[in-house]
Every structure is written in C-alpha cells, then in structure tokens.
C-alpha cells in the first residue's frame, strides 16, 4: 500500500477537490484503489462514489468485507443498478443479496430485460447452495453440431451477455463440456460431441461446502448444476469457490478456537462485538468445566487419603486434552478435504485406537519415570512404585480416551448435520478434562487407595 498516495487522497477528500480526485483515480489500477478505500476511515470511503460505474463494478469485488458494509448502504438505487450492469450476473446477485429486501427490490426495478430475469432467477436460490453460486453463462449444444457452428453461437452469446459461455452437452450419457482450448483448436467440420469431456453434476440445493469438497476431491475446473429433474440450470467455476474456501476456512478457524465467526476484519470489529463473540463460547466451556469440580468432589476421600494424587492431576488431564485436540484437528481437516466421510468411522476408530495406544504407552512411560522420582517428603506414606504405576496407567488411559474422543466427535457432528469445526480444541479439552478426572481417580482407587 502506497502511504504517500493514501495521504494525498485523504487530503483531497478533506479539501473536497473532486476534480483532482477523479484525475488520480483514472490513473490507478483497481487493486490499488480497493486498497486505498480499505485503509481510509469509514467516513471517507465515499471515495467509491468518485469512480465511474465500470470501475465501481470491479473495485467493489476487491474490497474487504468491512468496506463493502460501509459503502453499500450509502449508494443510491440508481448508482448500484448502474454498476451492476457491468458485472457478471452471479457477482451482481452476490451484491444484491447484501442489500435489505426493500432496497434490493428498488434496485431490481431499475434493471431491464433478460439480465433482470436471469438475476432474479439466481436470487431465488439460497446463497449458501450450489444454486446461489452458479453462473448462468452456458450454452447447450447438440452432440452432432459442428465446431464452426458452435463457435459462432459462443460469439453471439458473448456479444449479448458480455460473457463467454461454457459449452455443455446433455444426453443419455450424462453431462459433458467442451474445454475452450479444444473448441478453438479443433477443425470446424468436426462434431462437438467427439471432443466433449465428462463433467460432474449436482443438484442446486447442494450445500456450498459440499460443492467445494467435491471439486477439490475430483480436481475439476467446473461443475454442472441441475434441478431435481436433471435439467441444467448453470455451472459453478473453480474461481467462484475461492471466496467460499476463504470463508469456510475462517469459520473453521473460529470454531476450532471456540469463537463465534466474525463477519468483519478483527481491527474493524467493535470491542463489544468481539467480546460477545468470545464470551458466548467461553461461558459455555466455563459452565462445562464446573463439572470438573463435581468430579473432584466425588473423589474427596481418595484425595484426603493420598494427597500426592492431587499434584499429578494437571499432568494427567492435560495429556488427554492435548491428544484429543490433535485428533480433532486432523479429522476435521480430513473431512474438509473429503479424505474421509462418516462412513469411514470404523477405519478411523481402528487407526486412532492403535495411535492412542502407541502415544499413551510412550507418554505413560514418561509419566511413570517422573512419578518414580517423587520426593519421600511429598509421598506422605504412599508407595513410590505404586504411585508411579497409577500415573503411568492414568496417562496412557487418558491419552487413549482423548484420542478416541477427538477423532470421533467431528464425525458425530457431521453425521447429524453440524459443522465438524464445532468439535473445537477447547470443546474436546473440556470434555476430556471432566472424564479424565474420573479415569484418573478410578485407577488410583483400585491400585493405591
């Protein structure tokens, strides 16, 4: 970010030198203009109004979320409708979905013809589904159509809609598409059906996260969207999913940290909003941790009999929380990438059972050695080697338990339709803390008390 340019534009806004501002903006690229608007105080982001409509249509797609929220409400219906004219229909739909219903209706009333009908069609789908992501720029071709005729149809479509369409073929063999490079490099007398490539298709109601997982798993550039009767409605491009991937990654990161997702940049979010987002989960986890007190209270006689047991509680319990958090993170990532599904629960259980045993045995051995060096003055009459055995077995058992809980919880959440990101590290650690205390003192009661 050019700080000198930012200071100059800030000064011109203060001086209200509109002519000089427009002259500067004409010579800057869209990325630079978007960065300047993002850096300006919220009250001065009206700089967007000085841009011509065509440039506005490009810049608004590059702005940070906080800037879009600051700019859009200030724009008149006419201003929005004017720059929407230069945008792809799916991008225009995304902008309209940000507006309040009455504002959206007024802007739509200013749009005309086929473009208005196509945007209204996209608005009829939920924004977090394949239908809400899809692009309507496609052509259905007959398999027997010649390449030359298809190229002409593509050019005609592009002239009308200002967008190059994807060429699709839909027959008994399923949906196929013709990559642009093949279309332009193949002789005009060849039938397009001979150069078509298979393409995946999904129903319009498919969740956008599932679309992202499918495209990542199959490594494809486009995916076809159909209705319940298998009629083609549109296509989703890989580029359309980049924003989705960023949003989903952010949501998962927030959930794994036990924070409610924030829609605006951290420094652009008010103190009270950040407090609320963090307090909700922390209060839930705090209440859950109160069960730790209940668990400890139920073993008060064991603690009173062998006080040294209390000293090893943090060591044993933290092992379960750490191993569970590790497993939860690995499984959540595998689910997000489509590497595993809830149907793979048995394979995952066997793998993590062995992993938990291996990790627990290794850490239990370390715990055994540490406990065996406990000073006699602290033992309080307890047998050194029996105590070491309790600690070693407890660490091993709690590590195994934490690993299994961390691995299975994301699958359970996904199975019941919840985001596996909710199986956050703090959530797993809290659950294992409470149950780990029960495991620890149960072993102690059997061996030492």
Beta bridge partners of 234: 225
Confidence category of residue 249, pLDDT binned at 50, 70, 90: low
Burial string for 191-219 (b: 16+ CB within 10 Å, else e) reads bbbebbeebbbbebebebbebbbbbbeee
Burial of 146 (0-12, 13-18, 19+ CB in 10 A): middle
Phi, psi angle pair for 265, to nearest 5°: -55, 150
Residue 161: the pLDDT is 79
Read off the pLDDT band of 395 (50, 70, 90). very high
Read off the pLDDT band of 203 (50, 70, 90). Answer: very high
Q: What is the pLDDT of residue 401?
A: 94
Is the predicted pLDDT of residue 343 greater than 90, yes or no?
Answer: no
Q: Are strands 174-178 and 166-171 parallel, antiparallel or unpaired?
A: antiparallel
**CA-wise closest residue to 314 among 425, 394, 378:** 394
Q: Which helix (H) or strand (E) holds 167?
A: strand 166-171
CA distance linking residue 424 with residue 398, whole number of Å? 18
In the chain, which residues fall in CATH 3.10.580.10?
Answer: 138-238
DSSP assigned state of 124: T
CATH 1.25.60.10 segments of the chain: 3-125
Question: What's the CATH class of domain 138-238?
Answer: alpha beta
Average pLDDT value for residue range 83-102: 87
pLDDT digits (tens, 9 = 90+) for 137-154: 888 888 888 889 988 988
Say what the pLDDT of residue 424 is. 65
* Phi–psi pair at 177, nearest 5 degrees: -135, 160
Q: What is the mean pLDDT of residues 69-82?
A: 88
CATH superfamily of 3-125: MgtE N-terminal domain-like (1.25.60.10)
Question: How, if at all, do strands 197-198 and 174-178 pair?
Answer: antiparallel
- pLDDT averaged over every residue in the chain: 83
pLDDT tens profile 26-41? 778 888 888 888 887 7
Question: Two tokens at 201?
Answer: 């298709």
The tens digit of pLDDT for each residue in 165-186 reads 889 998 877 888 888 888 888 8
pLDDT digits (tens, 9 = 90+) for 270-328: 677 777 777 877 787 788 777 777 777 777 777 766 778 888 888 888 888 889 888 88
Residue 255 confidence (pLDDT) above 90: no
The predicted pLDDT at position 313 comes to 87
Rounded to the nearest 10 degrees, what angle do helices 425-447 and 384-415 cross at?
A: 140
Strand ordering across the sheet containing 201-203: 201-203, 222-226, 232-237
- DSSP H or E segment with residue 168: strand 166-171
62 has a pLDDT exceeding 80: yes
Radius of gyration of the chain (CA): 30
Domain at 266-447: CATH architecture:
Orthogonal Bundle (1.10)
- Find the angle CA(279)-CA(281)-CA(287) to the nearest 5 degrees: 95
**Is the model's pLDDT at 238 over the cut of 90?**
no
423: helix, coil or strand? coil
Q: Rounded to 5, what percent of the chain is helix, strand, coil?
A: 70, 10, 25
- Nearest-CA neighbor of 277 among 253, 296, 303, 298? 253
Considering 4-8, 367-371, 444-448, the range whose residues carry the highest mean pLDDT is: 367-371
Q: What is the mean pLDDT of residues 195-201?
A: 88
CB 309 within 8 A of CB 303: yes
Domain span(s) for CATH 1.10.357.20 in the chain: 266-447
Q: What is the mean pLDDT of residues 65-93?
A: 87
Contact (Cβ atoms closer than 8 angstroms) between residue 211 and residue 144: no
Q: Is the pLDDT of residue 257 over 60?
A: no
């Amino acid at each position: 970010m050019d700080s000198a340019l930012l200071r100059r534009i800030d000064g011109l806004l203060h001086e209200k030198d509109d002519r000089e501002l427009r002259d500067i903006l004409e010579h800057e690229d869209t990325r630079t203009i978007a960065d300047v608007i993002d850096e300006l105080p919220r009250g001065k982001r009206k700089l967007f109004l000085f841009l011509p409509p065509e440039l506005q249509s490009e810049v608004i797609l590059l702005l940070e979320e906080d800037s879009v929220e600051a700019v859009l409400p200030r724009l008149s219906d006419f201003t929005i409708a004017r720059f929407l004219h230069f945008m792809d229909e799916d991008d225009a739909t995304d902008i309209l979905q940000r507006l309040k219903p009455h504002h959206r209706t007024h802007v739509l009333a200013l749009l005309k013809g086929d473009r208005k009908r196509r945007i209204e069609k996209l608005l009829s789908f939920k924004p977090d589904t394949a239908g809400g992501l899809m692009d309507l720029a496609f052509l259905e071709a007959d398999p027997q159509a010649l390449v030359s005729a298809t190229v002409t149809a593509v050019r005609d479509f592009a002239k009308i809609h200002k967008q190059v369409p994807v060429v699709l073929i839909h027959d008994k063999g399923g949906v196929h598409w013709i990559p642009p490079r093949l279309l332009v490099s193949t002789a005009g007398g060849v039938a397009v059906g001979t150069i078509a490539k298979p393409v995946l298709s999904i129903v319009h109601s498919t969740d956008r996260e599932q679309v992202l997982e499918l495209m990542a798993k199959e490594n494809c550039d486009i995916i076809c969207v159909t209705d319940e009767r298998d009629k083609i409605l549109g296509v989703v491009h890989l580029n359309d999913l980049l924003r989705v991937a960023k949003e989903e990654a952010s949501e998962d990161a927030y959930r794994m940290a036990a924070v409610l997702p924030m829609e605006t940049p951290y420094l652009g979010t008010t103190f009270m909003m950040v407090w609320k987002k963090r307090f909700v989960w922390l209060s839930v986890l705090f209440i859950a941790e109160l069960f730790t007190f209940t668990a400890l209270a139920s073993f008060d006689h064991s603690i009173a009999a062998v006080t040294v047991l209390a000293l090893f509680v943090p060591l044993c319990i933290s092992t379960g929380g750490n191993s569970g958090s590790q497993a939860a993170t690995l499984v959540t990532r595998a689910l997000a990438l489509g590497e595993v599904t809830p149907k793979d629960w048995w394979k995952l259980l066997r793998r993590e059972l062995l992993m938990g045993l291996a990790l627990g045995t290794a850490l239990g051995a370390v715990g055994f050695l540490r406990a065996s060096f406990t000073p006699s003055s602290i033992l309080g009459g307890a047998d050194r080697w029996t105590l070491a055995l309790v600690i070693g077995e407890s660490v091993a058992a709690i590590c195994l338990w934490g690993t299994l809980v961390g691995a299975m919880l994301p699958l359970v959440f996904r199975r019941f339709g919840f985001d596996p990101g909710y199986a956050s590290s703090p959530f797993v650690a809290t659950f294992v803390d409470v149950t780990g205390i029960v495991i620890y003192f149960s072993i102690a009661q059997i061996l030492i008390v």
